A and B are shown apart, each in its own frame.
Chain A
Amino acid sequence: MAKEMREPIETGCPDPFQYMHPVMRRNFGLWAYHEHPRPGVLLHVAKNGDKVWTIRVGTQRILDVFTLRTLCDIGDTYGEGYVHFTIRSNIEYMVTDEAKVDPLIKAIEDAGFIVGGTQNSVTMISHTQGWLHCDIPGTDASGVVKSMMDELIDEFKQANMPNRVHITTSCCQINCGGQGDIAINVQHTKPPKINHDLVANVCERPSVVARCPVAAIRPAMVNGKPSLEVDEKKCICCGACFPPCPPMQINDAEHTKLAIWVGGNHSNARGKPTFQKLVAAGIPNNPPRWPEATAIVKRILKAYKEGARDWERINEWIERIGWPRFFEEVELPFTKYHIDNWRGARKSLNSSAYIRF
């Protein structure tokens, strides 16, 4: 069945107005304020008095068409036929009649989805593809997130944290999961294992050499074949050489670990945006439920919930109480690995007499 090849229609990013709830179209740029009637529900009021209730729902993110259609059915029967997705893959239903809110929530929960994720809750973990689809993952993504959200579900449903908590996971050190208040990321601990028979045929050697952030890779002849070798004293085990050169296997069932970082905050509120900082590493990559990583996340959340003031994000809470006390509160060791040695690291060192006792 030879198909007539046709040129693609290069429409790019579609116009959202055709898929937008009419009340949002009508009041585009004309909203007055919002309120939080209950966790998982937002109320936005327009300048003309129009109201829209938004019900935010956590899902498994990797949706099968049955689940997608179930979500659509709920939207048609109990909602008003329009949805919006948040950056963290929560689905939102908008309704313009307050009377629809409770039946909609009931239908969502009866179908096994979770209402929450607004305001000062622990919202859905933004995550990557992991073993399901990525070509370089050191761990899974959806499985880690499912395991953690099972444990954090009450924090998703109830907005009772000091401020919002964004958690992210990433299955390699490229970290497409992004910056988060708590980030659970793969951290390799051993240099790549090289299959020298394959390198010459598979890898563009100069680009691989150029990819290394610490210039630890150089061309070499191994077993009479052109290959690459790694200066293991220099190697920081980041895995940057692995995507362009799969024979340089960085993933290891034993030595690929998880690390936990805290204090990434992309808002400008109260302070400038911040990057996440290392707090724990060497955590076993332990499928199918990753209990060790989840336990540390829960310890951090507990200390934050008990110790932070209203509106303090995790980075601000630590800024106030100080890192020594943070490590005490969460019962984590402070090691030489916590002290940065990358370029610009001097800015992270304490050059003052500010010491907390």
Chain B
Amino acid sequence: MAIDQYPTPMLDQLEEGPWPSFISGIKRLRDQHPEQRINEVTNSLLGQLEHSYETRKGYWKGGTVSVYGYGGGIIPRFSEVGKAFPESKEFHTLRVQPPAGNHYSTGMLRQLADSWEKWGSGLVTFHGQTGNIMFIGTNTANTQHFFDEINDYGWDLGGAGPCVRTAMSCVGAARCEMSCTNEQKAHRLLVNNFTDDVHRPALPYKFKFKVSGCPNDCQNAIERADFAVIGTWRDDMKVNQDEWKAYVGRKGRQHTIDNIISRCPTNALSLKDDDSLEVNNKDCVRCMHCLNVVPKALHPGDDRGVTILIGGKRTLKIGDLMGTVVVPFKKLDTEEDWESLVELAEEIIDFWAENALEHERCGEMIERIGLVNFLEGVGVEVDPNMVNHPRECSYIRMDGWDDEAVKWFDRQAEAS
């Protein structure tokens, strides 16, 4: 059954060129899908998108749509030009939490596709910038139907609004020799402990967990997560001298010096006369560069754990912030270790929920109250690994110095 197609002269130009075209995909839904509802909704969507291209303006507005029992997880979209493009006048997205690490069987992808074309537009993205599967385009009534159907076979909504958001973790231990922790376990333990805070937005603003298994930080956790978990190690890195020498033999000494030895940010590497590698592990900062270049010869040590940084975010409102080291090293071996990771997250979210201004990210709150107040609030002791360098400004009252110094020496004695 043919439908009246909106002309799309500008969008048609996005079908040219070698990269796969999302416009061609949407047109296939419009022209070839057996279900008329999908033909109409995607036709209408293309009409509105063409209108945006012509006028250089967006025409979606937010609103309030949720599923029974939840207050978030849906991105509601109502068209401001719904009269002209009526079939897509409601075009909501469901944010669905992916499996930790984004692994799928084709069978499961097909099952999701079947459910989605029953209730939605047939458009989906793996994944949005927060980390969700985004099922793009359904109306208010079908939002609930689709959710019920996929919820029955194991899928749940992610976060939207001022809540704990869907978490992200790298492929990690599943397929990477640099993995220093069980990324998927950290990811699931943390986010699933806060299910209530994911589904019922009641926090000052968004709160994101991201887990990277090594300091390469593939998940961009330090720059984009309120709670970044970075795998690392604290003993000596492993050096397979035979593999190392084979590399030097293949590439030559100059290449090795120029690309590895002299690139070490703390000059912790030395190429010996017999082509072996000497590592001063006391100076090594675990930057990953030499391991990245020679992954066959160099590996993380055995005494592995994580570094936790708090407060990363983009510009709004006070400017970009990187996460700050709050836990320099934490073992994650025993059940107690894992429990205390979750407890730390609870402590931080509780303190932030209690003390942040409305719409203030955790990092912004730390900026406002100072790191020391934050640490005292969440019960974490100061550590020189938290700073690039000590203070430069003398304007501070320090009549508690002696007591603080005693605390430090007591902690040192306790640790040894």
Contacts and interface: CB of A to CB of B under 8 A. Distances in A.
Contacts of A35: 296
Interface string A126-163: 10111111111111101100110111010000000000
A60 B123 CA distance: 11
B296 A33 contact: yes
Interface string B11-32: 1011011111111011011001
A218 interface: no
Contacts of B330: none
A251 B58 contact: yes
Given A10-B156, A32-B177, A82-B104, A179 B19 contact: no
A268 B288 contact: yes
A207 B98 contact: no
B34 to A, nearest CB: 11
B175 A52 contact: yes
Interface string A57-75: 0111111111111011001
B99 A14 contact: yes
A288 B223 contact: no
B20 A114 contact: yes
Nearest to A127: B129
A133 B184 contact: no
Contacts of A63: 25, 123-126
* Range class of the A interface residue count: 35 or more
A268 B32 contact: no
Interface centre among B20, B62, B108, B113 (most CB of A within 10 A): B20
A66 B42 CA distance: 13
Interface stretch (B47-55, B331-339, B407-415): B47-55
A268 B293 contact: no
A64 B29 contact: yes
Nearest to B198: A12
Interface stretch (B271-279, B315-323, B347-355, B394-402): B315-323
A132 B49 contact: yes
Contact of B58 (A28, A112, A131): A131
Interface in A149-184: 149-151, 153, 173-179
B159 to A, nearest CB: 10
Contacts of A9: 151-152, 156
Interface in A226-284: 238, 240, 243, 246, 251, 253, 256, 264, 266-271, 273, 275
Interface of A is mostly: loop
B263 A76 contact: no
A352 B253 CA distance: 35
B151 to A, nearest CB: 5
B67 A8 contact: yes
A20 B263 CA distance: 36
Interface string A200-215: 0000000100110100
B316 A67 contact: no
A307 interface: no
Nearest to A345: B319
A131 B52 contact: yes
Interface centre among B17, B137, B219 (most CB of A within 10 A): B17
B317 to A, nearest CB: 5
Interface in B304-348: 314-320, 322
A130 B55 CA distance: 14
Interface stretch (A84-92, A97-105, A296-304, A328-336): A84-92
Contacts of A285: 56
B21 A60 contact: yes
Interface of A: 3, 5-21, 24-25, 28-29, 31-35, 44, 52, 54, 58-69, 71-72, 75-76, 79, 81-87, 89, 91, 94, 112-114, 126, 128-140, 142-143, 146-147, 149-151, 153, 173-179, 207, 210-211, 213, 238, 240, 243, 246, 251, 253, 256, 264, 266-271, 273, 275, 285, 287-289, 309-311, 342-344
20 contacts: A13-B98, A13-B156, A16-B101, A19-B103, A31-B173, A31-B176, A64-B122, A64-B123, A85-B98, A94-B175, A128-B129, A130-B58, A131-B57, A133-B75, A135-B60, A140-B53, A211-B359, A266-B221, A269-B216, A271-B265
